[in-house]
Structure 1
Amino acid sequence: MITSTTPRILVLGASGLIGRFITDDLRQRGCATVGVARAFSPSQRTSPFDIELPIMALDAPALASLIRAHEIDVVVNCLGVLQDGPGSDTTAVHREFVARVLAAITACGRRVRFIHISIPGAADEDHTAFATTKREAEQLIASSDIPYAILRPGFVIAPSAYGGSAMVRALAALPVDLPARDAATPFQPVAVADIAATIAWLAMRPIDDEATRAVSWDLMQPEAVTLGDVVDAFRRSFGTTDWPRVALPAPLINLGAFAGDLCSRLGWMPPMRTTAIAELRRGVHGDPAPWIAATGITPTPLDAVGTRGATIQDKWFARLFLIKALIIASLVLFWVTSGSIALFVSFPATTAVLTTRGWPEGFAIPFAAITSMMDISVGLLIAFRRTATFGLAAGILVSLGYMLGCAILTPDLWLEPLGALVKTGPAIVLMLVALLMMDNR
């Protein structure tokens, strides 16, 4: 029940893995919580207090107005991006946006506590733009006069999965293993529920409480574990502990990260990119003792993951997570390659298929050229994340059009020895599968 003493909380980045969970959790605890994100997926639009705004375009006065309009007492910043790329700027998101939020809190005319989600580790270990800009944001916060809490979660384990957390699940569900050196990396986890409990605890503290006016805490279980231990916990959950596995060589992982960087240029956000691998090899470690002592929260142990049997949807997601990239890549190659061969390599043979069946040459040549270019266009549409959904739908319609058109105009092609038209059916099914897997959140 919301009362006059209930803190009013603004969550920035309320559509992400941490942001979505804590927004829902705070509401369940009775806190008046406003969630703000650039966009929410249809399944996330469950409350009128979830607001879609071009959040990165908001200046300090606009943010101050937002805080005043909703009479906010606590601002929680969950925004973050892994790597620079199209639509992603680590400096803009991690440092410049935080500077605007601090200015907005100063100017809003209200006493507001700022809770910032950062990353664990020592500053001298920061070697990526992701890490250095996160640390610069911390310095801005610490030098301000605003009551603040900097929370540095370990590897976050949540009911949902995205990015690195989804990659760990995929490793556990498939017959592959990490190189021994990577598996031995320190990797202290934390349950997302423990992060939410910490934010709720801080939100209920008086803003003039000196003990919580300026704190920086590592949030993670105190026991030292490795990345291999985390993957093993999920293997116990999936029931794949006894599977034989092939150890992935380190160069193959580096190649995958490079391919992920290339895909990010097309608008995709693959979990395996150079920054992700660098941060993984750096490890996740810290000292949670001050956090535990101050809040009295007992961290959820990693063993809790292995003792809960995975649901069928958990297993399907983990097995298909990496296959999704393979499906998209194969469809792009299928459409671009088939169209290019028909247009540039065997164009006379392509037109001959039509002219030998009575089509006038003046009609067969442009028809073959147009359909070939249409195939290439479908492949290119699928290649770019922003147009991939349209490209997949177009590919299905084009394929159905080919099948129907051939049935009417050239029915003998259905009996062609290599079964080109017959194979179109499974291709349609594969595009439908890809279309149903396009959601990320």
Structure 2
Amino acid sequence: MGGVLVLGAGGLIGQFVAADLIRRGIKVTAAARRFSAAQRDLFGEAACETAIASLDVGRLRDLIAQSGADVVLNCIGVLQDQPGSSTHEAHDGFVERLIAALCAAGRPVLLIHVSIPGEHGADITPFAQSKRRADGLIIDSGLPHAILRPGFVMAPAPYGGSAMLRALAALPIDLPRDLAERPLRYVAVEDIAETAARIAQGWTPGQPYAAIYDLMHPEPNNMQSVLAQLRNWLGDIWRWRVRVPGFAIDLGARAGDLSSWLGWSPPLRSTAMAELRRGVTGDPARWMADTGISPRGLDALLRERPATVENRWFARLYLLKALIVATLVVFWCVSGLIAITVAYGDALEMMERFGFPGGQSHAFVITSSLTDIAVGLLIAVRRTHRTGLVAGIVVAVGYMLGTAVLTPALWTEPLGALVKTGPAIVLMMVALAISDNR
């Protein structure tokens, strides 16, 4: 075979499948908008960084030609609209251009497309509707194709929904009953990779091919049972649990929606909750019969990779990360706003008491307050998050050293404001250490 072009190789499924195909000795071109340093090292010369979802038909045709691939695996997808990405552009809009590029390739190319399970009539979110429209475009195109509809993906590397489930399993909580009892059929990412490899290796260029498979374990499951298995895997230490009310989950989803406009991609968003409440179901019988794959069960998967200390740390820190970021944003922004508004007079009086003339006092209070607010805003935005943390550490250390030299009496204030800056620096160091998403 001529090889496989993996589109979206920076994502959870795309990365695993591309790496698996390379291990099998198959020529792979791994394309993504952006790779982490570890992914670049993993793929080496196979890595191709380009803004795939925004490529026009001509550039997509050129990418296919340059890869020499006779199989294209499309793993591109976004959960919901946010600045810089939309479900329409990432799903049906992109697939329409991809189909046109494949038709213009001048040779037969098999398209393997990763979609979602479920019935068309039950699609209520723009995410699901755009995914389903993309499926329809592929089916109507006449191109050789395989549409893979995986259930809830379980992978060694936690990301997105699987990361959220691990975090929930580490907390002493139970989900609302209506959510806990929703069907949740899962699939191991290894089985997705195995499916893609068998289809790619079994297809002969020019051969007609049309298949739609639900990739999931045949045993019915729900969120409650999956969480129970993950708790056992992590080593459940809680003797009690509190059932979270549904409105608290919805508030968390709304907060996730808000953070997405700052560039974050949290798994807990309104689209994710709507899809989970719909349930993850399907019929894997045809997939199992045609490919001969016996899906891995969750118990077997978890036994194959016993929980290590990093797994437990990740699960416990995952949701705390959002709390840490929110705390730091509030800390910096509110401290700056207080000093420049309601406490402005007190701040000036304090500066003058320590020997600063009036003009310098005004300049210092205004400058330091605006600096604090700027640090908070930098931390809040995903793209500038690490810059904001580094800036916050530098500014905080500068405050401590500056006051030690110029106004050492501030260190002995009754409320110990400067002493409390030390823990804030440590918290920013923690946030910096866990800032990576993958």
Letter in 1 for 2:349: A
Q: State how far apart, in whole Å, the 2-side matches of 1:94 and 1:288 are.
A: 23
The alignment status of 1:51 with 2:48, answered yes or no, reads yes
Kindly state the Cα deviation for residue 137 of structure 1 after the two structures are TM-superposed.
Answer: 0.2
Residue type of the alignment partner of 2:86: D
In the alignment, residue 11 of structure 1 is paired with which amino acid? V
What SS class does the counterpart of residue 91 from structure 2 fall into?
helix
SS at match of 2:100: helix
**Where does residue 299 of structure 1 map in the other structure?**
295
2:415 counterpart residue number: 418
Task: Determine whether 1:338 maps to 2:332.
Answer: no
Contact 2:172 2:238 in 1 (8 A): no
Q: Which runs of 5+ in 2 are unaligned?
A: none
Of 116, 121, 141, the match for 2:118 = 121
Between the aligned partners of 1:176 and 1:315, the Cα distance in structure 2 is 16
> How far apart are 1:339 and its partner, in Å?
0.6
Contact 2:348 2:361 survives alignment (8 Å) = yes
- Change in Cα spacing, 1:66 to 1:156, as seen in structure 2 (3 Å) is same
Task: Write the distance in 1 (CA, Å) between the matches of 2:429 and 2:45.
Answer: 33
Q: Distance in 2 between matches of 1:82 and 1:206?
A: 31
**Within-5 A mapping of 1:32-431:** 32-46=27-41, 47-207=44-204, 213-240=209-236, 243-307=239-303, 308-431=305-428
CA distance in 2, matches of 1:30, 1:266: 41
Query: Is the contact made by 1:75 and 1:114 (CA closer than 8 Å) also made in structure 2?
Result: yes
Alignment pair present for 1:11 and 2:21: no
User: In structure 2, how many angstroms separate the alpha carbons of the residues matched to 1:85 and 1:265?
Assistant: 6
Does the 8 A contact of 1:113 with 1:207 survive in 2?
no
The whole-number CA distance in structure 2 between the counterparts of 1:168 and 1:356 is 54
Letter paired with 1:206 = W
Contact 1:61/1:104 (<8 A) preserved:
yes
How far did residue 206 of structure 1 move? Answer: 2.8
Q: Structure 1 residue aligned with 2:25, among 27, 30, 38?
A: 30
Kept in 1: contact 2:74–2:114 (CA 8 A): yes
- Could you list the structure 1 runs, at least 4 aligned residues long, displaced by more than 2 angstroms after superposition: 206-210, 305-309
Post-superposition Cα deviations, 1:300-325, rounded to whole Å, max 9, x if no partner, equal 01222443531111111111000000
Which whole-Å CA distance do the structure 1 matches of 2:50 and 2:313 have between them?
33
Q: CA deviation at 1:67?
A: 1.1
Q: Which secondary structure does the structure 1 equivalent of 2:72 belong to?
A: strand
Instruction: Determine the C-alpha separation between the residues in 2 that align with 1:206 and 1:194.
Output: 18
Q: Which amino acid aligns with 2:395?
A: V
SS of alignment partner, residue 156 of structure 1:
strand
Native 8 Å contact 1:351 1:368 kept in 2 = yes
2: CA distance, partners of 1:53 / 1:95: 19
The alpha carbon displacement at 1:173 in A equals: 1.0
In 2, Cα distance between equivalents of 1:287 and 1:209: 29
Q: Distance in 2 between matches of 1:25 and 1:245?
A: 39
1:12 is aligned with what amino acid?
Answer: L
Deviation at 1:258, TM superposition (A): 0.9
Amino acid at match of 1:203: A
- 1:3 matched to which residue of 2? none
Gaps of 5+ in 1: 1-5
The two structures have a TM-score, normalised by structure 1, of 0.97
1:142-162 CA deviation, whole Å, 9 max, x = no partner? 001210000000000000111
AA of the residue aligned to 1:81:
V
Amino acid paired to 1:13: G
Task: Write the distance in 1 (CA, Å) between the matches of 2:165 and 2:420.
Answer: 35
How far the C-alpha of 1:69 sits from its partner, in A, is 1.5
Alpha carbons 1:237, 1:305 under 8 Å: kept: no
Could you tell me how far apart the structure 1 residues matched to 2:47 and 2:238 are? 44
Offset of 1:297 from its aligned partner? 0.5
Aligned equivalents of 1:236, 1:154: Cα separation in 2: 22
Deviation per CA, 1:200-252: give whole Å up to 9, x if none.
Answer: 00001133686x70000000000111111111111110011753111110010
Contact kept? 1:7, 1:203, Cα under 8 Å: no
SS at match of 2:81: coil
Q: Could you tell me whether the CA contact under 8 Å between 1:7 and 1:204 is conserved in 2? A: no
CA deviations on 1:412-435 (whole Å, 9 max, x unpaired) are: 111111111111111001001111
In 2, distance between residues paired with 1:70 and 1:255? 45
Contact 1:233 1:305 in 2 (8 A): no
Letter in 1 for 2:4: I
> 1:359 aligns to what SS in structure 2?
coil
- Sequence identity percentage: 53
Give me the whole-angstrom Cα distance separating, in 1, the residues matched to 2:51 and 2:338: 43
Q: State the AA in 1 paired with 2:16.
A: F
